[in-house]
Amino acid sequence: MKKLKVFGVRQKVQNASLVGALLEDLMATPPKSHKQLEKRKYAFCGKQKIEMIQNRDLIFMAQEKDLPPELERLLKKRAVRTISGVSPIGILTKPYPCPGKCVYCPTEDRMPKSYLSSQPAAARAVRNNFHPFRQVHNRITALEDSGHPVSKLEVIVMGGTWSFLPHNYQSWYVKKIFDAANGHNKGKTLAESQAINETTDKRVIGLTLETRPDFINERELVRMRKYGCTRIEIGVQTLDDDVQRLTKRGHKSSHVIRAMKLMKDFGFKVCFHLMPGLPGSTPEKDLVWMRKVFEDPDFRPDFVKIYPCVVLETAELKTWWKEGRYKPLDDKDLVKLLLQFKTFVPPWTRIMRLMRDIPVGHILDGAKLSNLRQILKDQPKKLKEVVGEDFWKEHNLATRDWPCPCIRCKEVGFKNFNTPEEVPEPVLKRRDYDASDGLETFLSFESDDEQYIFALLRLRKPSGRKFKQFGSVLHDAALIREVHSYGSEVSVGDVAGMGQHRGLGKKLILEAERIARDEWGLKKMTIIAGVGTREYYKKFGYELKSTYMVKKL
């Protein structure tokens, strides 16, 4: 039997004694910035006449040492990766034919449609021959070597329309994800691999699958649940049916409405992919339908990703652009649009992305700002330069207090506090809103001024629709669709951080149970739990039934 070659295997530390000496020096007088750290490393290596010591080697040597917190933060590569409380791992499926004919999608050979081989996640997938075990193992190793905890894995499967892939490939693919997290292939079936993952060191606490709204039906959602899926990302693109028709998208807003009701009544978290700047639209039209995404109860997603339309070499749209039939939004128009968009994002929504990670060199025309979020939030001079004097004054941007109300802008993990005393006390907040013929209650622990969020819970009173499968757990039940504590990831069993392991999740669950029982008159709570979170919910009296965690109230 051919042995599986795994990428991402750790390398031995070169010059271990010198690496240890540099570490001791840094621990004695920790640098205060990344610039100071690099300067100290450069001076030390120059004096010793050795190659530059990598942070991963310092982290490896520090495993048994009590690092000063400020030094640990500096050594940890891209600390933002796990700052939301989990370790996200993005992987791609291998290239399969796509059911869509969208004019804006790139069609690069040997890549899933809409992806470019130069994108970070795609490049890693190519290096690992699109094998799920290799991709997950590679990312776990890279995160560990960069100083990140990896006990809570959130796996995002990309590659186009998941629902269009052969079912046997889907099952094999997901099993290998759990096998990689478990560190072996001992599970003979997907169910066995999932059972092992419930108590292993590295648990898949969330699994995200991408698909189209017109592929969502009851049978598809049942299959996704058996895979352990907890969040679905759907390519909505726009709510303007005329634009959808022009760009050959192949579905309408009515498909989105139907899919949303099904997904939420199954308990899934939902992320919309939105694409402003499409052919046939204008910034004014975009603003109208983007506002509708949040104000119309038929939509109201939990997450959004913004993918502004740009012209790419291998897309059909390139021909339209060359013929003068299409002009994409430039940086100025896009920033103006998103500034207005961010003002009406509700506090129960998380903006996961404002720009797609397409290398600038591949964009023939369109917005190219790669650090758009930072410009909107932290760079007022650059922002003023981009939008112009008139827009700056008209919208009073000099005095407007950013960030926006979305969850990501308020996550406590992104905030800097000099002392524990500066961290505000979490206060329970409640927001109710109608969505997809049901009632949503968004519970959260936030600072009293609502500038920081520590933890959240999404509770749903479903529409009352009956299903052929999962009826015993979904019918006449309240649904917890998400429980999440923010702050840098704390490994399972470790001490508390700012948001995790402080008992906030438990308090939210108890309050959700009280609402369902006392206010809604329901006698059953059902949680759409990730495989790796099942043990957590068992502590509160929940049992595993039909892939959900269920408790009688």
Sign of the alpha-carbon dihedral angle for 489, 347, 305, 393? negative
Cα 157–162–168 angle (5° rounding)?
A: 100
* 523 within some domain: yes
pLDDT of residue 402: 57
Residue 352 buriedness (CB in 10 A; 0-12 / 13-18 / 19+): buried
* 30 within some domain: yes
Q: Are 155 and 173 in contact (CB under 8 A)?
A: no
**Mean pLDDT, the chain, whole residue set:** 88
Task: Supply the pTM of this predicted model.
Answer: 0.85
* 534 within some domain: yes
pLDDT of residue 4: 39
Beta strands in 363-437 (DSSP E): 363-365, 427-435
Sign of the alpha-carbon dihedral angle for 283, 285, 286, 291? positive
Which of 75, 95, 121 marks a domain boundary? 75
Query: Which residues, in sequence order, are CB contacts of 188 under 8 Å at separation 6+?
Result: none
Q: What six digits make up the tokens of 509?
A: 């669950």
Beta strands in 11-50 (DSSP E): none
* 23 within some domain: yes
DSSP state of 163: G
* 45 within some domain: yes
Query: Which residues, in sequence order, are CB contacts of 151 under 8 Å at separation 6+?
Result: 201, 202, 203, 489, 491, 492
* 416 within some domain: yes
Say how far apart CA 510 and CA 494 lie, in whole Å.
Answer: 23
Domains of the chain: total: 2
Write the DSSP string, 46-94: HHHT-PPPPHHHHHHHTTTS---HHHHHHHSTTGGGGTTSSEEEEEEPP
Pairing, β 269-274 against β 303-306: parallel
Pairing, β 203-211 against β 350-353: unpaired
pLDDT of residue 63: 66
* 452 within some domain: yes
Cα 137–139–142 angle (5° rounding)?
A: 110
Nearest to 424 by CA among 442, 403, 410: 410
DSSP state of 266: T
Q: What six digits make up the tokens of 201?
A: 């060191």
pLDDT of residue 5: 38
CATH number assigned to the domain comprising residue 529? 3.40.630.30
Q: Which uninterrupted H or E stretch holds 338?
A: helix 331-341
Q: Which long-range contacts (CB under 8 A, 24 or more apart) does 164-168 make?
A: 164/96, 164/97, 164/98, 164/99, 164/211, 164/215, 165/93, 165/96, 166/96, 167/223
Residue 27 structural domain: 16-75
Which of 24, 41, 75 marks a domain boundary? 75
Amino acid at 82: T
* 264 within some domain: no
CA distances in angstroms from 284 to 236, 237, 290, 337, listed in the order given? 18, 16, 10, 8
Which of 54, 75, 96 marks a domain boundary? 75
Ranges under pLDDT 70 in the chain = 1-13, 63-64, 76-84, 378, 399-403, 488-501
